[in-house]
Amino acid sequence: TDDIEGKVIDFSDKRPKNIDIINVMSYFIGDILQSPSRFSAIKINGERAYNLARSGVEFEIKKRPIKIFDLKLLQNNEQFADFEVSCSKGTYIRSLARDLGVSLGVGAYLKALCRTRIGTYSLKDAKEVADLVEEIKSRPNENLSPTR
């Protein structure tokens, strides 16, 4: 599945060094073609790919053009590597992790993902739900019922 929820299908004791990761990362910067995960929500003949994959159906997902604007290695240790990615819409980060692992000869999957920005919306400007509820409650007697 290219993420932590999937079944481990192979294992490597090899841990790539920072320099090896950085060298491989350079091949992913810019316009590239990416193969989305077989466990993605992409529709294949009207059916979600993840349903087909879980049912054992064989199918192909065509590569799609994406753009990686920036890719930074933040941390690399015996357990995992952390990256920061700036990318175009349509990019599958699970697939990027998988492809980096394949290129390094060690395999890889996505353990965690935190979106820090989508378009003009940024995580640093986000509000907690509880704060939004309080903000709405504090507004002067607005009619919040749906418009008909």
The closest alpha carbon to 21, from 85, 93, 76, belongs to 76
| In contact, 41 and 48? CB cutoff 8 Å | yes
| pTM, full prediction | 0.81
What pLDDT shows up at residue 9?
84
Rounded average pLDDT over 42-58: 94
- Cα 92 to Cα 65: distance, rounded to the nearest angstrom: 11
Of the pLDDT bands very low, low, confident and very high (cuts 50, 70, 90), residue 147 is low
129, containing H or E segment: helix 129-137
| In contact, 116 and 72? CB cutoff 8 Å | no
Is 62 in a helix, a strand, or coil? Answer: coil
Q: Is the pLDDT of residue 148 over 60?
A: no
- Cα 106 to Cα 24: distance, rounded to the nearest angstrom: 12
- Write out pLDDT tens, residues 84-97: 999 999 999 999 99
Average per-residue pLDDT for the chain? 91
Q: Is the pLDDT of residue 142 over 70?
A: no
Of the pLDDT bands very low, low, confident and very high (cuts 50, 70, 90), residue 143 is low
| In contact, 116 and 122? CB cutoff 8 Å | yes
DSSP 79: S
- Write out pLDDT tens, residues 9-42: 888 889 999 999 999 999 999 999 999 999 999 9
What pLDDT shows up at residue 11?
83
- Write out pLDDT tens, residues 78-87: 889 999 999 9
What pLDDT shows up at residue 140?
77
Taking the CA of residue 91 as centre, how many other CA atoms within 13 Å lie in the half-sphere pointing to its CB? 24
